[in-house]
Amino acid sequence: MKAAVVRAFGEPLVIEERPDPEPGPGQVRVRVEASGLCHTDIHAAHGDWPVKPTPPFVPGHEGVGLVEKLGEGVTHLSAGQRVAVPWLGRACGRCEHCLSGWETLCEQQVNTGFGCDGGYAEKMLAWADFAQPVPEGVTAFEAAPLACAGVTSYKALKVADVKPAQLVAISGVGGLGHLALQYAKIAGATVAAIDVTDDKLQLATELGADIVIDARKQDAGKELKEHGGAHAAIALAVNPAAFEAVNSGLRRGGKLVMVALPAHGTIQVPIFDTVLNGTSVIGSIVGTRQDLAEVFQLHAAGRTKVIYETRPLASVNESIDAVLRGEIKARVVFDLGAGR
């Protein structure tokens, strides 16, 4: 089977021929159909963050495909079943976080495409308990972006505790933002979408944004304040200045939910305004298995639209460059060609 491998940080990925991986106890082997390109994969491949994977490794945490082989002890999945293999490859199931519904904070977690090989491959392994069944009516190409971009933005809105009639700012209308916008609308909120490219501002309008802010020409914080200030701002743009801009646009009691992970990111949080206005700054990382099940359920019910373009895995390096240049409207999904 073919896999796109990071051999050294910052170097182009290499397409390698590898033997099919053998599932161990509790694992399954998945024949990958579709695999999304998330910005996190690029940070992993570049070794951008304080925590780094160990090369050689296969990135990708939006792999979706068909279960091909069951490891020992796996009884709840069957061969041929479609599953998604998300960032949360496994968690311990026993710690304070796992037991309190916050498995995404488990310190023993293994992350797909980071701590173990991921979905940029024709075949991959998954821990069966964390491989999420994809419901009927959701294609592999739609399920792939939902497995990270979808669940991460959905969880951010839960963390923000968005309610109907609230104003929610979505900063960055890309792979995550285009879905965050739709979840905010489902929650009943008025949505202000902020971006810096015509394409993405246009996409925001098409997806039903009530207010569209062009951060090249407009001060996002000031614009939000003119609408009374945001109850919640979801920071999805990989630019620390964009975090500060929306933080300044919160109304009293508002919440800044940080989701994007710039390689080197620090923001200034004004103490006086934060105290006086009672605002919060919260980090939110991916979502639980239950969150992902809900994301798939909403999509199967026809309530969300996934914008993506398909490309062959062989284009992995050009695709990464295109994402870094901001040329991709929402999501690149690699077509692994399984089942054809």
User: Using the rule CB under 5 A, which residue among 15, 92, 211, 293 binds Zn ion?
Assistant: 92
Judged by beta carbon, residue 168 or residue 236, the one nearer Zn ion is 236
Q: How far is the CB of 223 from Zn ion (least distance, A)?
A: 28
**Is there a contact between 308 and 283 (Cβ–Cβ < 8 Å)?**
no
Instruction: Return d(Cα 127, Cα 70) in angstroms, integer.
Output: 10
Judged by beta carbon, residue 250 or residue 295, the one nearer Zn ion is 295
User: Using the rule CB under 5 A, which residue among 6, 13, 28, 38 binds Zn ion?
Assistant: 38
Binding positions for Zn ion, 104-123, rule CB under 5 A? 106
Judged by beta carbon, residue 51 or residue 275, the one nearer Zn ion is 51
Judged by beta carbon, residue 148 or residue 209, the one nearer Zn ion is 148
Instruction: Return d(Cα 20, Cα 22) in angstroms, integer.
Output: 6
User: Using the rule CB under 5 A, which residue among 42, 58, 66, 91 binds Zn ion?
Assistant: 91
Q: Provide the token pair at 29.
A: 């082997």
Residue with tokens 């639209």: 305
Q: Which of 239, 252, 254 is nearest to 169 (CA)?
A: 254
Q: How far is the CB of 283 from Zn ion (least distance, A)?
A: 15
User: Using the rule CB under 5 A, which residue among 98, 181, 207, 224 binds Zn ion?
Assistant: 98
DSSP annotation of 216: T
Q: Which residue stretches of the chain are H helix?
A: 39-46, 96-99, 140-145, 151-159, 177-186, 198-206, 220-226, 240-247, 271-277, 289-300, 316-324
Binding positions for Zn ion, 128-157, rule CB under 5 A? 148
Does the protein bind Zn ion through residue 64 (CB under 5 A)?
Answer: no
Does the protein bind Zn ion through residue 40 (CB under 5 A)?
Answer: yes
Instruction: Return d(Cα 42, Cα 201) in angstroms, integer.
Output: 24
Q: How far is the CB of 106 from Zn ion (least distance, A)?
A: 3
Q: How far is the CB of 210 from Zn ion (least distance, A)?
A: 27
Q: How far is CA 131 from CA 27, 74, 87, 97, in A?
A: 9, 11, 10, 19
Does the protein bind Zn ion through residue 167 (CB under 5 A)?
Answer: no
> Contact residues for Zn ion (CB under 5 A)?
38, 40, 91-92, 95, 98, 106, 148
